[in-house]
Structure 1
Amino acid sequence: MPKIKLHWQILIAIAVAIIAGLITGHPDDTTLGARAMGVYDFLGTLFISALLMIIVPLIVSSIIIGIAGIAREGRLGALGGKTLGFYIGTGLVAVLVGLVAVNLSQPGFINGEPAGDRLALDRDADEVVEQVGEGGPGELVAIFHRMIPENVVDAAANNELLGLIFFALLFGYFMTRVKKENADTLYSFWDGIFEVMMKITHLVMLFAPLGVFGLVAKVAAETGVDAAGPLLVFAITVVVALAIHVLLVMPLMVRVITGYNPYRLFRAMGPALLTAFSTASSMATLPITMDCVRKNAKVSQKTSSFVLPLGATVNMNGTALYECVAAIFIAQAYGLELTFGVQFTIVVAALVTSIGVAGVPMASMVAIGIILTAVGLPLEALGLLFVFDRILDMLRTATNVYGDGVCSVIVAHLEGEKDLLPSGKMEKANI
């Protein structure tokens, strides 16, 4: 009997959870409802705890080996600088597009009131505000203070993730500047930790359907169909923001920087975009992306062989946008006043974490957990995002892959390559 893929297991779990939650109803109504609520809470809490368990070692090890891997191979030269600069720049633009979209649509509010009650968020809004902070002129300064931890071990124990990310970036870079034998030992050490954490992550994800069932069933039992409205507005906000970034922002970059017709790239990358959408995996799509970019966009092998594999690892425009929208949606639902400092923290964390955990299954959920922790928001709201996550994951992966193609064309142009994005017949990609 063929094994059901994880995303189908999660979709089935969501459907079953909604039905079970609606049947059992509010926990105060019946003994059955109260007992069912206990089961839902047990499963959901275990899953959230497992995600919390892997966050610190996973993000630290992944960032260290990612930065060290680029530096030790000498790829931080001109080509590397252009590529990384583009990926960071477009990632920042994507986050800002998401930030504007979610502030305009405000999916976390219903008729001007926070949607926390409808979404069955357990934590009291005043408690959340107290935990996050009221904001003020010194908040931005405090954010930068938190980025440089006085004690790295203490920062890890208290989930001060901005400081850990900053430390990991420095450690990964300077790890390659020591004696070769020491650098190799350190790289093997952190690479081993990363491999172990990936295996633990895979183990946690095997139980994701049960965790998702508990989280979604709890919401359905407490709110009935009331949660559908805010979640649908949230999903539409993400889709619209992704569309703006893919159809307007990145094509404008291609037109302004290269002068080529940017919409030819959609045709050139058609097979890769469809594969990315269906698999929700940038890495799985990479061979087809490289084939399309070389044959149809006419980017050289020298450029594409560097830009595209790096992009499949660190270029997560769609993921960064989604993380920003999701974090602010949850903050709105709690009624948190989104000061400049809070939103700045979310923007920075979304940009960095979209790179740091790019290779992890269901990476956005882990990364959003990191962002919520960095801002001080409770993690129980994470379960809400699973309802529409599969389709949104497919869309943001396609966005990521398209961004890789855009970068390859722009970097190729800046490297002096000619006759890119021809208007002639496209070759069939080798799949």
Structure 2
Amino acid sequence: MKLHWQILLALLAAVAVGKLAGPQPGLIQICEFLGTLFLNALKMIIVPLIIASIISGVSSLSGQALGRIGLGTLIYYLGTGLIAICTGLLLVNLIVPGVVNGVPAGQLMGLSDDARAVAANIESRSGAGELLKVFYLMFPPNIFAAISEGQMLGIVCFAMLYGFFVARLPQLAGDTQRAFWSGAYQTMADITGLIMRFAPIGVFGLVTKVVAQTGFEAVRPLMLFFFTVIAGLAVHALITLPIVLRLIAGVSPLRHFQAMAPALLTAFSTSSSGATLPVTVECMEKRAKVPNRITGFVLPVGANVNTDGSALYECVAAMFIAQAYGVHLGVAAQFSVVLIALLSSIGVAGIPSASLVAIVLILNAVGVPLEGLGLILAVDRVLDMCRTTVNVLGDSVCTVTVARLNGEHGVLAEPVRA
């Protein structure tokens, strides 16, 4: 049985077992052990995989090729991120999930801050300075400390610089470096394959724990907000990204989804685009036939700066909380939400619930109390699973698009075996 079918069966079994068994301490403890062990194994190889992948990929490119790939990647990330945020903004303004039967949801859920005070606070706050902290992470003062602490933006920037200058070494030294990092990358890929053999067990443990602890009851009071986010993510994943694949990349969206099935299921169950990165790389190279010189650059960068699903969620969540307080955000304030969601999503690490940090930044910027964040925590875990899946899908679409635009005609040229 193919791996993605094993993962899917494990996912369905986890939902059934978690719902039937309920929050039994013994079951939760066992599932937590299995899930954490699987996550730790994936996280163990993230840093060496990213470093080896980027250096191996970038060092094999000429300056002109790197410029084309880098420019295409940047344009894609900014463009699709902006489309995702605007999709969420449109839906949250149409559906207005923060108002129930004409009454702000905050009054029904016990929010204490006075709406007038909130409205007055909007014009007196500016979060632009806070965004600078995100960019400081790109150049850590100590790269070894950044590696030990998992500061991905710093690691990515360092690896890109290292690979760039490896490509400019004299031939003998350059060939030695490229051979070493190519071997290191292949080793990390083989370790990933070994870990993924145990993916169904890890997925079962992770999802069973979530369902057993929260069930589906937490969704009911926030059904409209939940629906708005899911609708936005669905539009982006099933309409926007397939259009990019068909019209720009010139490949079959169905083949792409088939190639990415193991990675998407892993992303959904782990809620971590970082932990899913090894699986994404494997799917792109072995199933979609994208060369390492493309995946080695685009995917590690995308896992850290391309978070379409998270950006959409941050926008909808901030608008929902403002609506719940009965506060109307004008055009200027909504533009600020869009801009901050786009920029802050760049610095959101690929770990579970990291988007909550970005939402705090947005709420501070528009002057909405952070107390409102408590409204969405009940459904954040489930939505985190969904938006992470969209994040990973977006990274893979960028990889295929960049590869096709750079003359890689073998990408998704043949049907992917189910």
TM-score range, shorter chain: 0.5 to 0.7
Matches within 5 A, 1:127-276: 127-133=117-123, 160-166=126-132, 169=135, 187-189=140-142, 192=145, 231-276=222-267
CA shift, 1:228, in A, is 6.7
Q: Secondary structure at the match of 1:117?
A: helix
Amino acid paired to 1:93: I
Q: CA deviation at 1:229?
A: 5.8
Aligned partner of 1:327 in structure 2 is 318
- What are the Cα deviations for residues 286-320 of structure 1, in whole angstroms up to 9, with x where unaligned? 11111111122121111011111111111111000
Matched, 1:103 2:69: no
Mapped to 2, the partners of 1:168 and 1:288 lie a distance apart of 27
Matched position secondary structure for 1:77: helix
Pair 1:119 & 2:85 matched: no
Counterpart residue type for residue 378 of structure 1: P
Structure 1 residues 228 and 413: CA distance shift in structure 2, 3 A: closer
- Checking the alignment, whether the CA contact within 8 Å between 1:316 and 1:358 is kept in structure 2 is no
Partner of residue 86 from structure 1, selected from 76, 81, 85: 76
Report the Cα offset of residue 330 of structure 1: 0.4
Percent of aligned pairs sharing the same letter? 48
CA RMSD of aligned residues (A): 3.2
User: In the superposition, relative to structure 1, how do residues 189 and 420 fare at CA in structure 2: closer, same or farther (>3 Å)?
Assistant: closer
When the two structures are superposed, what TM-score results if normalisation uses the length of structure 1?
A: 0.63
Q: Deviations over 1:121-168 (max 9, x none)?
A: 11001110111139xxxxxxxxxxx8xxxxxxxxxxxxx431232576
1:372 Cα offset (Å) = 0.3
Tell me: CA distance 1:167–1:196, structure 2 relative to 1, closer, same or farther (3 Å): closer
Match of 1:400 among 391, 400, 403: 391
Are the equivalent residues in 2 in contact too, given 1:125–1:336 (CA < 8 A)? yes
Q: Which moved more, 1:264-273 or 1:109-118?
A: 109-118
Change (3 A) 1:196 1:421: closer
Judging changes above 3 Å, is the alpha-carbon distance between structure 1 residues 118 and 172 closer, same or farther for their aligned structure 2 residues?
A: closer
1:6-65 superposed Cα distances (whole Å, 9 cap, x missing partner): xxxxx9xxx99xxxxxxxxxxxxxxxxxxxxxxxxxxxxxxxxxxxxxxxxxxxxxxxxx
Equivalent-residue separation in structure 1 for 2:92 and 2:113 (angstroms): 22
Gapped runs of 5+ residues in structure 1? 1-10, 17-68, 135-145, 147-159, 176-186, 199-224
**Among candidates 400, 411, 415, match of residue 420 of structure 1:** 411
Taking the aligned partners of 1:420 and 1:130, their CA distance within structure 2 comes to: 54
Tell whether the 8 Å contact from 1:107 to 1:230 is kept in structure 2 after alignment: no
More helix by share: 2
Counterpart code for 2:237: V
Residue identity in the other structure for 2:113: R
Retained in 1: the 8 A contact 2:255–2:416?
Answer: no
Counterpart of 1:374? 365
Contiguous gaps of at least 5 residues in structure 2 = 1-17, 24-53, 152-216
* Cα distance in structure 2, aligned partners of 1:400 and 1:301: 20
Q: CA contact under 8 A between 1:94 and 1:318: conserved in structure 2?
A: yes
The answer to whether the aligner puts 1:389 opposite 2:355 as a matched pair is no
Structure 2 counterpart of 1:305 = 296
Work out the CA distance in 1 between the residues paired with 2:143 and 2:278.
27
Query: Could you state the TM-score of these two structures normalised by the residue count of structure 2?
Result: 0.65
Distance 1:316 1:299 in 2: 21
Within 1, Cα distance between the matches of 2:416 and 2:393?
20
Q: Distance in 1 between matches of 2:77 and 2:318?
A: 22
Counterpart CA distance in 1 for 2:134 and 2:295 is 28
- Comparing 339-348 and 358-367, the one that deviates more: 358-367
Pair 1:307–1:373, CA change in 2 (3 A): same
Q: How many residues align?
A: 300
